[in-house]
Amino acid sequence: MAQGILVIAEQRRGVMSPVTQELIGAARAVKADIGGSLSVAIIAGDPKALADSVKLDGVDEVLLLPVEANEFQPDLHVAAALQAVEERDPALVLMSHSVDGWGYGAALAVRAAAGFATDVFAIQVDDGEVVAVRGAYGERAHAKIEFPGRERVVLALRPSAFTAAEGATDCSVTTLAVPDTAVRSRHLEFIDPPSEGGVDIPAAEFILSIGRGVGEEENVEEFAELADQVGAVLGCSRPIADAGWLPKARQVGYSGKTASSCRLYLALGISGSVQHLAGMKHIENIIAVNSDANAGIFNVARYGVVGDMFEVGQELRQHFD
Which residues contact ligand FAD (rule: CB under 6 A)? 211-213, 237-239, 251-256, 269-271, 273, 275-276, 279, 289-292, 295, 308-310
Closer residue to ligand FAD, CB minimum distance, 154 or 259:
259
Binder to another protein among 84, 139, 204, 267 (CB under 8 A)?
139
Closer residue to ligand FAD, CB minimum distance, 168 or 203:
203
Q: Does 319 bind another protein (CB under 8 A)?
A: yes
Q: Does 104 bind another protein (CB under 8 A)?
A: yes
Q: What is d(CA 290, CA 183) in angstroms, rounded to the nearest whole number?
A: 47
The 10 Å CB-count burial string (b at 16+, else e) for 265-285 is bbbbbbbbbbebbbbbbebee
The number of CA neighbours under 13 Å toward the Cβ of 54 is 35
**Residue 32 touches which of another protein, ligand FAD, none (Cβ within 5-8 Å per kind):** none
The DSSP annotation for 48-113 comes to GGGGGGG-BTT--EEEEEE-S-SS--HHHHHHHHHHHHHHH--SEEEEE-SHHHHTTHHHHHHHTT
Q: At its nearest, how many Å lie between ligand FAD and the CB of residue 22?
A: 18
Closer residue to another protein, CB minimum distance, 60 or 308:
308
Which one of the spans 39-47, 58-66, 163-171, 191-199 is the region binding another protein (CB under 8 A)? Answer: 191-199
Binder to another protein among 9, 65, 79, 266 (CB under 8 A)?
266
Which class for 105: exposed (0-12), middle (13-18), buried (19 or more C-beta within 10 A)? buried
Q: What is d(CA 85, CA 116) in angstroms, rounded to the nearest whole number?
A: 14
Residues 267-306 that bind another protein (CB under 8 A): 274, 285, 287-289, 292-294, 298-306
Contact 124, 131 (CB under 8 A): yes
Q: What is d(CA 151, CA 130) in angstroms, rounded to the nearest whole number?
A: 10
Residues 1-60 that bind another protein (CB under 8 A): 12
Closer residue to another protein, CB minimum distance, 35 or 307:
307
Q: What is d(CA 63, CA 224) in angstroms, rounded to the nearest whole number?
A: 51
**Residue 193 touches which of another protein, ligand FAD, none (Cβ within 5-8 Å per kind):** another protein
Q: How far is CA 227 from the centre of its chain?
A: 29
Q: Does 88 bind another protein (CB under 8 A)?
A: no
Q: At its nearest, how many Å lie between another protein and the CB of residue 279?
A: 9
Binder to another protein among 128, 167, 170, 186 (CB under 8 A)?
186
Which one of the spans 25-33, 84-92, 166-174, 247-255 is the region binding another protein (CB under 8 A)? Answer: 247-255
Q: Does 181 bind another protein (CB under 8 A)?
A: no
